[in-house]
Amino acid sequence: MFVKLLRVLVLLNIFGLIVCSCTSEEVTLTSLLEEMTGRENLTYFPARLYTHNQFSSYNRASVSPDKEGWFANYDMSHFLRVEENEGRREFVMFDAAGPGAVVRWWMTFYKAQNGTLRVYIDNESIPVLAGKPVDLLRGHTIANPPLAVAVQEGAPLGDEGRDYDHNFYVPLPFSKRCKITYECDSLVMLYENEGIPVPQGYWWPDVFYNIGYRKYSEDIKVESVSKQSLENARQLLDDAGEFLSDNIPVSSEEKIFEKIVLPGDSLVIKFEDGENAINRLIVELDAVNKPQALRSTVIAASFDGNRSVWVPVGEFFGAGYSQNTHRTWMNRVDDKGKMESFWVMPFRESCQLAFINYGKESVSLRGSAGLTTYRWKDGSMYFGASWHEYYHINSRDDKGSPFDLNFIDIHGKGLYAGDQVTLFNNTYQWWGEGDEKIFVDGESFPSSFGTGSEDYYGYSFGRQEPFSHPFISQPVGTGNMSWGPVVNMRLRSLDAIPFNKRIVSDIELWHWASVRLNYALTTFYYVMPPFRVNINPDAESVKHPVVLSKIDFTLGEKLPTTQP
Say if residue 232 is in the same domain as residue 257: no
Overall pTM > 0.85: yes
Alpha carbon distance 269, 266 (integer Å): 10
* Cβ-contact 144, 241 below 8 angstroms: yes
373, 397, 419 - which closes a domain: 373
More confident position, 404 or 9? 404
72 occurs within a structural domain: no
227 and 165 assigned to the same domain: yes
The reply to whether 436 and 338 lie within a common domain is no
Same domain? 405 vs 529: yes
Residue 269 sits in the same domain as residue 343: yes
- For residues 125 and 192, state if they share a domain: yes
Q: Are 344 and 404 within one domain?
A: no
**Dist. CA 239–CA 144, nearest whole Å:** 10
- The predicted structure's pLDDT at residue 111: 84
d(CA 488, CA 474): 5
User: What confidence tier does 154 reach under pLDDT thresholds 50, 70, 90?
Assistant: low
- d(CA 471, CA 221) in angstroms, rounded, equals 27
- Whether residue 21 is contained in a domain is answered as no
Q: Same structural domain for residues 264 and 201? A: no
Query: Angle, to 10 degrees, between the axis of helix 29-36 and the axis of helix 234-246?
Result: 10
Q: At residue 19, does pLDDT exceed 50?
A: no
**What's the structural domain count of the chain?**
3
Task: Give the residue numbers spanning the domain of 409.
Answer: 385-564
| Interval 69-97: pLDDT, tens | 999 998 999 999 999 999 999 999 999 99
The 10s digit of each residue's pLDDT in 450-465 is 999 999 999 998 999 9
- Residue 151 covered by a domain: yes
Rounded CA-CA distance 498/43 in Å is 11
- Asked which of 179, 203, 236 is the last residue of a domain, the reply is 236
Is 56 among the domain residues? no
Are 228 and 93 part of one and the same domain?
yes
pLDDT at residue 434 above 60?
A: yes
Residue 374 has pLDDT above 70, yes or no: yes
Q: Per-residue pLDDT for 20 more than 60?
A: no
Q: Are residues 359 and 404 in the same domain?
A: no
CATH of the domain at 286: 2.60.120.1390
Does 305 reside within a domain? yes
Residues 38-63 have a mean pLDDT of 96
| Angstrom distance (rounded) from CA 371 to CA 431 | 40
416 within domain boundaries: yes
What average pLDDT does the chain have? 91
Please state, for a pLDDT cut of 90, what percent of the chain lies above it. 82
Q: Residue 16: its pLDDT value, please?
A: 46
> pLDDT of 499-539, one tens digit each?
999 999 999 999 999 999 999 999 999 999 999 999 999 99
Three-state secondary-structure class, residue 159:
helix
Q: Residue 536's closest CA among 239, 275, 310? A: 310
Statement to judge: residues 257 and 230 lie in one domain: no
Shared domain check, 264 and 185: no
Q: Does residue 206 lie within any of the structural domains?
A: yes
Domain boundary among 373, 399, 430: 373
Among 78-92, 190-204, 488-502, where is mean pLDDT lowest? 190-204
